[in-house]
Amino acid sequence: MFGRLLPRETSFFDFFEEHAQLTVRGTAEFVSMVETPHNIDAQARRIKEIEHETDVITHRCVEALHKVFITPIERDDIYRLITRMDDIMDFVEAAAERIALYEITVMPAEIVDMAKTMCGATRAVEEAIKGLRDLKHPKHILAKCVDINRLENEADAILRLALARMFKEVKNPIEIIKWKEIYENVESATDSCEDVANIIEGLVLDNA
């Protein structure tokens, strides 16, 4: 619907969809990292490479925003959406980097659960983003946004349980500090998915 208003060489929906696809890849890599931590450094490097690719897409999108006269949605919404999407991989990369820097090889069950929840949220983001090309089916988009909100709540619950268990069982304060930082980065990535969902919901309602 909106694509017809854009010059053929510029599609902001392409930027959104490519970014979302890469983000799913990045979070899937993080799940693999915490599930099977056989080569942490190599796994962290792959995640960093994906994060760099998402940065490139974000920069290209913002650059196009300054050049295109007619946009499919409000310029502020395009900027907010792509930058909030970019936040997701920033937090994932930060968590992966710390696991590598701290040379962690034994993963508690909670970090695996949080990683899978986060990955599920990015898959729902990808599906919601795809729906923006055609707003004839807003119910599907909004359903995905509900899924994202539910998964963010699940991540919050896992984080609370993880911290409670850690404060009770872990005696080394340095280990507590390390893991608290990692958990919070993963949680922030999932929070960013919810931020994206909120923007998408607003776009759907504005164009209903």
In a domain, 81, yes or no: yes
What local confidence, expressed as pLDDT, does residue 71 receive? 78
The answer to whether residues 83 and 17 touch, using CB atoms and an 8 Å cutoff, is no
In a domain, 97, yes or no: yes
The structure's pTM equals 0.91
Side chain identity at 164, as an amino acid letter? A
Minimum mean pLDDT range among 2-16, 104-118, 147-161: 2-16
In a domain, 208, yes or no: no
Number of domains in the chain: 1
Q: Residue 156 sits in a domain of what CATH number?
A: 1.20.58.220
Separation between Cα atoms, residue 128 and residue 55, nearest integer Å: 20
In a domain, 101, yes or no: yes
User: Taking each helix axis from N to C terminus, what angle separates 109-131 and 138-169, rounded to the nearest 10 degrees?
Assistant: 170
1 has pLDDT over 80: no
The answer to whether residues 13 and 133 touch, using CB atoms and an 8 Å cutoff, is yes
Mean pLDDT value of segment 6-19: 76
Q: Containing domain of residue 72, as a range?
A: 3-203
92 has pLDDT over 90: yes
